[in-house]
């Protein structure tokens, strides 16, 4: 059997990340996949990068998400193509703050992250796993729950991978389409499904069969929310409320 742990959308929440990784370690995975959106919004982007760099040095596959592009290079059109009427001050302020907090060396590491990685199961050497942020070939076009089924099929067909690991929506779910499995691990730090814990996914592959479980890890939401509020950036009151409630507040 091959075991994979998948997480994403940490969003600068080091407390949640460290709690998740402690739980991940207990499962003894063969691979750890981190599907982007690492630093924007939360109070500790530098610590998040340091933890993930160490994780990558130990073999984890880490990719960038759309908000990482915003923080690293302020390319808001690439990061938020749906915001055609302009980028809100709350996003700009948070991106600039995180950029400054990271410093040159961490920013260079963030810029060099790929947008996708692939991993092949050691169980059968045939099960290909793609880790992407939103969907194959895109950091911004995700697998939203209300997505038209025909669009879902078109997006999963952009890869030969049997398992697609992603995030972006901040709502964890698994969709077994038979020929492919979409594993959206939700968010390890900024979840939107109403459960104020960190979500991640555990994937087992045995004899070509794929089983997946969404896992939840508690962290000190109040401490993280208070740290966000104390920062005092535009929109921080809403970010803090999102962390406390597990629901997007804006």
Strands of the sheet containing 198-206, edge to edge, are 61-63, 31-35, 2-7, 198-206, 209-217
Contact predicate 215/200, CB 8 Å: yes
Contact predicate 67/170, CB 8 Å: no
Residues 218, 148: Cα–Cα separation, whole Å: 33
pLDDT in tens, 20-47: 999 999 999 999 999 999 999 999 999 9
Residues 138, 1: Cα–Cα separation, whole Å: 30
pLDDT in tens, 74-117: 999 999 999 999 999 999 999 999 999 999 999 999 999 999 99
Task: Name the nearest CA neighbour of 27 among 3, 10, 51.
Answer: 3
Give pLDDT, residue 121: 85
Indicate whether 123 pLDDT > 70.
no
Give pLDDT, residue 124: 60
Give pLDDT, residue 75: 98
Which long-range contacts (C-beta less than 8 Å, at least 24 apart) are formed by 84-91? Answer: 88/235, 89/234, 89/235, 90/233, 90/234, 90/235, 90/238, 91/40, 91/235
Contact predicate 42/10, CB 8 Å: yes
The separation between CA 227 and the C-alpha centre of its own chain, rounded to angstroms, equals 21
Q: What are the DSSP calls for 85-146, one per residue?
A: T---HHHHHHHHHHHHHHHHHHHHHHHT--SEEEEE-TTTS--EEEEESSBTTBSS----TT
pLDDT in tens, 124-134: 668 999 999 99
Which residues, at least 6 apart from 129, have a Cβ–Cβ distance to it below 8 Å? 4, 31, 33, 118, 119, 120, 121, 161, 162, 163, 164, 165, 203
- pTM, two decimals, is 0.96
The separation between CA 173 and the C-alpha centre of its own chain, rounded to angstroms, equals 13
pLDDT in tens, 187-217: 999 999 999 999 999 999 998 899 999 999 9
Indicate whether 122 pLDDT > 80.
no
Residues 81, 139: Cα–Cα separation, whole Å: 10
Q: What is the mean pLDDT of residues 151-174?
A: 97
Q: Which residue has the tokens 């990784």?
A: 21
Give pLDDT, residue 125: 65
Residues 85, 77: Cα–Cα separation, whole Å: 11
The residues pairing with 61 across neighbouring beta strands, listed in sequence order, are 33
The DSSP 8-state label assigned to residue 11 in this structure reads T
The separation between CA 39 and the C-alpha centre of its own chain, rounded to angstroms, equals 10
Q: Does domain 2-114+184-245 have CATH number 3.40.30.10?
A: no
Task: Give the model's confidence band at 147: pLDDT under 50 very low, under 70 low, under 90 confident, else very high.
Answer: very high
Contact predicate 47/98, CB 8 Å: no
């Amino acid at each position: 059997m091959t075991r994979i742990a998948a997480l994403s959308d940490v969003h600068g929440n080091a407390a949640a990340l460290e709690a998740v990784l402690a739980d991940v370690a207990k499962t003894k995975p063969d691979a750890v996949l981190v599907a982007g959106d690492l630093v924007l919004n939360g109070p500790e982007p530098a610590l998040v990068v340091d933890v993930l760099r160490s994780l990558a040095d130990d073999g984890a596959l880490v990719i960038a998400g759309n908000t990482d592009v915003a923080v690293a290079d302020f390319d808001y059109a690439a990061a938020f193509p749906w915001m055609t009427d302009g980028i809100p001050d709350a996003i700009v302020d948070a991106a600039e703050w995180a950029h400054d907090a990271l410093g040159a060396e961490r920013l260079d590491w963030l810029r060099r992250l790929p947008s996708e990685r692939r991993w092949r199961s050691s169980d059968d050497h045939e099960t290909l796993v793609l880790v992407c942020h939103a969907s194959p070939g895109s950091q911004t076009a995700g697998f939203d729950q209300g997505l038209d089924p025909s669009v879902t099929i078109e997006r999963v067909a952009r890869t030969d991978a049997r398992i697609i690991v992603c995030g972006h929506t901040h709502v964890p779910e698994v969709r077994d389409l038979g020929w492919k499995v979409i594993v959206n691990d939700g968010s390890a730090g900024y979840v939107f499904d109403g459960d104020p814990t960190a979500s991640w996914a555990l994937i087992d592959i045995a004899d070509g069969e794929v089983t997946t479980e969404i896992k939840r890890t508690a962290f000190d939401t109040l401490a993280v929310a208070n740290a966000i509020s104390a920062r005092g950036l535009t929109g921080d009151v809403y970010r803090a409320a999102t962390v406390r409630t597990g629901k997007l507040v804006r």
